Structure 1
Amino acid sequence: MTITTSQITGLVLAGGRGSRMGGVDKGLQAFRGSPMVLHVIMRLAPQVGALMINANQNIGPYEGFGYPVWPDQLGGFEGPLAGLQTGLSRCETPYLVTAPCDSPFVPDDLVMNLAEGLQSAGADIAVAVTEEGERRTHPVFALMKTSVLGSLDAYLQGGGRKIETWYRSLPFAEVPFEDADAFRNINTVDELRRFEQS
């Protein structure tokens, strides 16, 4: 059976401190006329049946985009896995797909390709991979069954925080994408200015 759009919830990960950008909230930084997170929302929302945002600060501004906003269940800015845990616990569909708030070039075929890769491999989680120049995994661009929540809870309770270590403990698929730039994240003010001008 094909995974349908209505079976997938999108989660935009915006729960970080933005320390590499001087402590500002990256998702709310202006990029080509709009907050960076809005670019992610506009690209991801058409690919999923529902959408939510994980944020740990500036909750009101994020709620202004019209989607539910949930802070980490774990306190202390524990990284993307903490946001993923929150998303999985709030997800009401069988599948959850994630994208970070600082990657405004999310591919239009992200969810479709990840779903095909997950199904063909019989996996519980599918992660984007690019091989342009060098092979890189992009584990914050992932589609997973919501049934992986128990595994993630146990991993976090054991002190684990590395997303790649966790997903490799599951039946996983790494799905190739051709355009490495589509997965580029903007982490610093200099990068933001450079992309504004390009």
Structure 2
Amino acid sequence: MSDQISKYARPATDLIAILLAGGRASRMGGGDKCLRLLAGRPLISHIIQGLKPQVRELILNANGDPGRFAKFGLPVIADEIGGQPGPLAGILAGMDWAAVQRPGTEYILTVSTDCPFLPTDLAARLLDAVKEGAQIAIAASNARKHPVVAVWRVALRKDLRRALGLENIRKVEAFCDRHRTRTVNFGSVVNLPGGVVDPFFNTNTPEDLAVAEGLLQHSS
């Protein structure tokens, strides 16, 4: 996490965060990437720790036996569309869950579960962007967009279901391009005990996980 306390580091109490863990993790060797250990704890524990103060509720999107995530105490929702079509299916599952289980919810935040260094102001800044007129607000850093890390209007769920089904759209960017989307820049780096890193650094491979371990090596 950044060593700077942002003016945005406040609870975003009207957001539900969907932690996306439904991928195949092929570059990590398969299995649940979010359960790989980083500094002695599962990756997902780092995500939960960073996001819990920022949102009203955390939900996990994962396929297969939900019991393997029981110790984290989160509701687990699976993709409604079979075949693991990608993160858009998890985003739709999150929208549908929010609409049914938390009626009146206007927005959800989605994050991938392989980004252990998320900004402390992530939820609030993305939420501000959609409240200013966007339908989707996407995080960015170092001139690169991270479309899976975003706030979405729940009202988009019907169009997203149609895009995934009838139109066979699979790329997150392709769906975003058809709606009012804003990009929110979170800067270049966050400061960690072992150095600096992009705030949306992905632990996609065992080598990435080793880099993340080194960045936390002096942390208590």
- Give TM-score scaled by structure 1 length: 0.92
2:182 corresponding residue in structure 1: 173
* RMSD of Structure 2 on Structure 1 (CA): 1.3
1:128 corresponding residue in structure 2: 139
- Residue in structure 2 matching 1:108, options 120, 145, 148: 120
CA distance in 2, matches of 1:63, 1:140: 24
AA in 2 matched with 1:118: V
Matches of residues 60-99 of structure 1 in structure 2 within 5 Å?
Answer: 60-91=67-98, 92=102, 93-99=105-111
User: 1:59-81: CA deviations, max 9, x gaps?
Assistant: 21223201100111111111100
Matches of residues 123-162 of structure 1 in structure 2 within 5 Å?
Answer: 123-130=134-141, 132=142, 135-157=143-165, 158-162=167-171
1:22 corresponding residue in structure 2: 29
Give 5+ residue unaligned stretches, structure 2: 1-10, 190-197, 216-220
Deviation for aligned residue 1:191 = 1.3
Give 5+ residue unaligned stretches, structure 1: none
The count of corresponding residues between Structure 1 and Structure 2 is 191
CA distance in 2, matches of 1:146, 1:24: 30
When Rg is computed on C-alpha atoms for both structures, the one with the higher figure is 2
More off after superposition, 67-76 vs 57-66: 57-66
Sequence identity of aligned pairs in percent? 38
User: 1:141-194: CA deviations, max 9, x gaps?
Assistant: 101111110110111011000100101111111111113511111000111122
CA distance in 2, matches of 1:53, 1:183: 19
CA distance in 1, matches of 2:53, 2:39: 20
Deviation for aligned residue 1:58 = 4.8
Quick check: which one's helix share is greater? 1
CA distance in 2, matches of 1:184, 1:58: 28
Matched, 1:52 2:75: no
* SS in structure 2 at match of 1:182: coil
* SS in structure 2 at match of 1:17: coil
1:7 corresponding residue in structure 2: 14
AA in 2 matched with 1:140: V
2:195 corresponding residue in structure 1: none
CA distance in 2, matches of 1:7, 1:187: 30
Matched, 1:117 2:129: yes
Moved over 3 A (4+): none
CA distance in 2, matches of 1:63, 1:146: 27
* SS in structure 1 at match of 2:138: strand
* SS in structure 1 at match of 2:85: coil
1:41 corresponding residue in structure 2: 48
AA in 1 matched with 2:180: P
CA distance in 2, matches of 1:159, 1:182: 31
* SS in structure 2 at match of 1:7: strand
